[in-house]
Structure 1
Amino acid sequence: MADEKGSELGCCVVLGASGDIGSCVARRLAYQGRRLLLAAPESDRLSSLADELRADSMPTDATSFEEVDACLQAAQERYGRVGGVVNCVGSVLLKPAHLTTADELHETLSLNLVSAFSVVRAAAQKMDRSGGSIVLISSSAARIGLVNHEAIAAAKAGIEGLTRSAAATYARRGLRVNAVAPGLVKTKLTERIWSSERAAAHSQALHALGRLGEPDDVASLIAWLLDPHNAWITGEVIGVDGGLGRTKLA
C-alpha cells in the first residue's frame, strides 16, 4: 500500500540528505512511503542512509546548475514524476561584515542562495503540470537582526525573496514553493556554537521556549509542507525557531 501511495505522489528529491536535517527529512518521508532520491556530495554517510532507507542516491553538488539538473532528470527518469524537492544544503558563518573575506562571503552565498536557486530552477523544469512542492531553508537570521550574522542573513534573506517570487511564477502550474526558517538547531554544522556551555546558554535565552532546536523539529515541518494534503500553501516562510524570530523576552 505504501509503495502504491509513493508511486502516485511521485518521487521526493532530498538535496543535502547526508546532513542532520536532511537525513531526518528522508527518514520521515520514507516512513510515509514516499519514493526517494537522496542527493549530497559523495560520502559514506549518503551511501549508508540510502541503504538504510532502500532509496536511490546520487552524488550532487547543489551549487552546480548542471549537477542539480542531472539529479532531477535522474529522478524523473527513474520514477516518472517528481512530486517534491527539498534543499537542505547550507552553511553557517558567524562573523561581522568587516572581518568577512570575499571568499567567505562567496562561499556562504553559494552554499545557501545559489544552491536554493539551482534547485528551484531545475525543479521548475522537471516537475510536471500536475503540481508538487518545493521547500527551501531560510533562517531566523533573515527575520531579526542578530549579531555577527551579516553574510548568512544576506544569503537567507535572498532565499526568502526567491521563495515568494517563485511561488508567484509557478502557481499556475500547481507548483508550491515555501521555506522554513529555523532558529539555532543542534547539528554538526552548528556544533561549534552549542558545544560551548556558555554559548549554548546564551542562545537558549534568545529562544522564547528556552531550548535549542533538534533536527527533527525542522524535518517535521518540511515533511508537512511536502505533503500534498497541504496543497493550499505557497509563498510562505514559516518560522520553526522556538520563538526567536517573533518574540521579545524583555
Structure 2
Amino acid sequence: MFVPLKGSWALIFGVSSGMGKETARALADAGCNIIGVHFDLAEGQQQAERYARALGELGVEAHFFNRNVAARQARAELVPVIRDLTSGVGPRVVLHSVAYGTLTSLLPAPGGAEDEAPAVTPQQLTMTVDVMGHSLVYWVQDLVKAALLPRGAKVFAMTSAGGTRVLPGYAPVSAAKATLEAHVRHLAVELAPQGVAVNAIRAGTTITPALRKIPGSEKLIAHCQEINPGGRLTRTEDVADAIVTLSSTDSSWLTGNVIGVDGGEALVV
C-alpha cells in the first residue's frame, strides 16, 4: 500500500555528496523533511549548508550536522536532536551512505619500497570497517533504545559490487562493505518483529567523488559503461528514485536483501 512521505522525516548519513545528497533531494521533493549528517572541512561544510538551504526552498525542513558518523559523541549529541525535530516519532527513512575509508592494498606492492606502496595498517583497516560498516549498527542501536525507529520505517545501507569482488586498492573498503551487508541481514531479522525493514542498496558504477578516488576508476568507468545493458552508467538519481519508491509503503516484508540498482550491470560484468 502506497503511503505518502509528506511530513515524515529522513535521517541521511553522508548527505553532502553522492548517493546521500541526491536521495535527500528526491525525498525532499516527495515532501520528506531531512536530517543530514556529513563530515566535511571548511569548504565542504559551506557547500553542505548551502545545500540544506536549497532543500528548505522545496518546502521542507532540512537540518544538517557536520559530525563524524562513527563517533559515540555524535550519537549522544544528535539522538536527542532527532527526537525533538521529529516530535518523538523518529525518522521514517534512514540512509547510511558513508564513503570514508582507506584505499590501499592489504600487502605492499611487489618489488616496491614500503614507503612508496605500503600495506594497510591495523589502524586504517579498523577505521574503515568501523566507519563504513559498524557505524550502521551503532546508530540503529541508539535509535531503537530511544524508541525512534517506528513501525514501517525503512533502513537502507549503500553497498557496492566491490563487497564481493576484488578491485585494485579497494581491499579495506571491500571488507567494510561485506561487513555492512552482514549487518543488514542480522538487523533485518532482529527488527522484523518491530515492522522495520532493513536492506542494502547495491548501486551500479556511478560517477561520484568516492568513485573517483578508487585507483583505476577511469578504466572501471569505461568498462562498465560499455557493458551495461542499459547503455549508460548508473546515476545517483536512479538510486534516489529506488529509495523513494521503496520507502513509500508501510510493508516491512521486503527486508534483509542486497537490492541491485544498476540497469543489469551485475548480470553481465
Q: How many residues are paired up?
A: 243
C-alpha separation between the residues in 2 aligned to 1:244 and 1:104? 30
Q: 2:6: which partner in 1?
A: 6
For the residues of structure 1 that align with 2:217 and 2:99, how far apart are their CA atoms? 22
Residue 139 of structure 2 is aligned to residue 113 of structure 1: no
Aligned equivalents of 1:166, 1:193: Cα separation in 2: 29
In structure 2, list runs of 5 or more residues that go unmatched.
57-61, 109-118
117-126 vs 37-46, which moves further: 117-126
In structure 1, which of residues 39, 50, 53 is the aligned counterpart of residue 52 of structure 2? 50
Q: Give a deviation string over 1:95-148, Cα, whole Å, max 9, x none.
A: 432133214323321331133222322332332553411111111112344454
Instruction: Look up the match of 2:97.
Output: 88
Cα pair distance change 1:172/1:229, threshold 3 Å? closer
Separation in 2, partners of 1:194, 1:211? 21
Q: Is the 8 A contact 1:87 1:119 kept in 2?
A: no
Higher helix share: 1
Query: Within 2, Cα distance between the matches of 1:143 and 1:89?
Result: 18
- Is 2:152–2:250's contact at 8 Å kept on the other side of the alignment? no
Partner Cα distance (1:119, 1:91) in 2: 17
Partner of 1:165: 186
Change (3 A) 1:34 1:135: same
Q: Quickly say closer, same or farther: Cα 1:212–1:229, change in 2 above 3 A.
A: same
Looking at structure 2, the residues matched to 97 and 208 of structure 1 have their Cα atoms a distance apart, in angstroms, of 33
- CA, structure 1 residues 16+128, in 2 after alignment: closer, same or farther (shift >3 Å)? closer
Shift of 1:199: 4.8
Letter matched to residue 12 of structure 2: V
**Pick from 203, 211, 214: which aligns with 1:182?**
203
Looking at structure 1, the residues matched to 205 and 26 of structure 2 have their Cα atoms a distance apart, in angstroms, of: 21
Once the two structures are superposed, what CA deviation does each residue of 1:157-200 show, in whole Å capped at 9, x if it has no partner?
Answer: 11111001001111111111111012321012222469975553
Q: Give the Cα–Cα distance (whole angstroms) in 1 for the partners of residues 25 and 183 of structure 2.
A: 27
Larger Rg computed on CA atoms: 2
Percent pairwise identity: 24
SS in 1 for 2:107: helix
Specify whether residues 14 and 236 from structure 1 end up closer, same or farther in structure 2 by C-alpha distance, changes over 3 A only: same
Q: How does 1:11-50 map to 2 (within 5 A)?
A: 11-41=9-39, 43-50=45-52
Q: 2:73 aligns with which of 55, 61, 66?
A: 66
- The whole-number CA distance in structure 2 between the counterparts of 1:183 and 1:16 is 18
1:4-46 CA deviation, whole Å, 9 max, x = no partner? 9633xx3211111111211111111111111221221251122
Instruction: Give the SS at the match of 1:228.
Output: coil
Separation in 1, partners of 2:68, 2:33: 21
How far is the alpha carbon of 1:69 from its aligned partner?
A: 4.3
Instruction: Give the TM-score taking structure 2 as reference length.
Output: 0.79
Residue pair 1:207, 1:244 contacting (<8 A) in 2 also: yes
What SS class does the counterpart of residue 178 from structure 1 fall into? strand
- How far residue 229 of structure 1 moved from its aligned partner, in angstroms, is 4.7
Asked if 1 retains the 8 angstrom alpha-carbon contact of 2:152 and 2:251, the reply is: no
Return 5+ residue gaps in structure 1 as ranges.
Answer: none
The CA RMSD over aligned residues, in Å, is 2.7
